[in-house]
C-alpha cells in the first residue's frame, strides 16, 4: 500500500466535486479510471469516513460538552460508514446482474462511495445544528440522484430498469444500515436515531 499524500486528498476532493457538479461526465471518468479495491478502500473510503467522523466528533462535542460521548459517536460513525459502504457496494454489485447489468465490485465501490459522499458530508455537518438536521438530510438525498445517474455507466444497467434497481437497493440499504446500527448501538451505548 502506497503512502497517502496531500495530492491524493486534493485529487479525491476534485473527484467528489466533479461528481456533484457534473455527474454525467464524472461517472464516465470514473468508469475509465483503473483502481483496485484496496486503493478505493484505503485511499478514499477510509480517509473520507475519518474526516466525516472527526466532523461528527466536533459537532457532538460542541453540543454535548462530553468528549467520551463524542468519541463514541466518532467510532460509530466511522465503523457504520465504512461497513455500510462496503456492504451496500457488495449488494449493489450482486444485484446488478438481476437487472441486466454487469458485475464489477470496483465500479460498485466507486458508485456507492462517490454518490454517498454528499450524504456523509452533509450528515456530519448536521451534527453542528441538530435542529436543522431534517434540512440537511433532504439535501443529502442528492446522493440518491447521483447514484441513479451513475448506475448506467458504472454497472451497465439500462435506463428502463434503473428505477426498480434503485428502489430495491434503497430498501436493502435501509435494512443493512439498520442492522449495522443495531449491532453497533450496544457497543457504543448509542440510541438508534
108 contacts 174 by C-beta, under 8 angstroms:
no
Q: Show pLDDT as tens, one digit a residue, over the chain (193 residues).
A: 456 677 877 888 888 888 888 999 999 998 888 888 888 888 888 988 898 889 889 988 988 888 888 898 889 889 988 999 999 999 999 999 999 999 999 999 999 999 988 888 777 777 777 677 677 777 778 888 999 999 999 999 999 999 999 999 989 988 988 888 888 777 766 554 4
Placement of cell 444500515 in the chain: 177
What gap in Å lies between CA 52 and CA 32, rounded to an integer? Answer: 27
Query: Given CA atoms 113, 115, 116, 117 in this order, what sign does their dihedral have?
Result: positive
Amino acid at each position: 500500500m502506497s503512502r497517502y499524500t496531500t495530492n491524493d486528498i486534493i485529487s479525491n476532493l476534485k473527484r467528489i466535486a466533479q461528481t456533484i457538479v457534473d455527474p454525467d461526465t464524472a461517472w464516465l471518468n470514473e468508469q475509465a479510471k483503473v483502481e483496485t479495491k484496496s486503493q478505493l478502500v484505503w485511499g478514499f473510503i477510509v480517509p473520507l469516513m475519518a474526516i466525516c467522523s472527526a466532523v461528527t466528533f466536533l459537532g457532538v462535542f460542541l453540543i454535548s460538552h462530553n468528549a467520551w460521548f463524542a468519541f463514541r459517536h466518532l467510532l460509530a460513525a466511522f465503523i457504520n460508514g465504512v461497513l455500510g459502504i462496503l456492504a451496500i457496494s457488495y449488494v449493489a454489485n450482486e444485484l446488478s446482474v438481476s437487472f441486466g447489468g454487469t458485475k464489477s465490485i470496483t465500479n460498485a465501490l466507486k458508485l456507492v462511495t462517490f454518490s454517498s459522499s454528499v450524504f456523509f458530508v452533509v450528515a456530519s455537518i448536521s451534527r453542528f445544528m441538530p435542529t436543522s438536521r431534517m434540512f440537511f438530510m433532504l439535501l443529502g438525498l442528492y446522493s440518491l440522484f447521483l447514484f441513479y445517474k451513475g448506475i448506467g455507466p458504472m454497472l451497465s444497467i439500462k435506463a428502463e430498469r434503473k428505477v426498480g434497481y434503485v428502489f430495491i437497493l434503497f430498501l436493502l440499504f435501509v435494512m443493512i444500515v439498520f442492522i449495522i446500527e443495531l449491532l453497533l448501538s450496544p457497543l457504543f451505548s448509542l440510541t438508534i436515531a
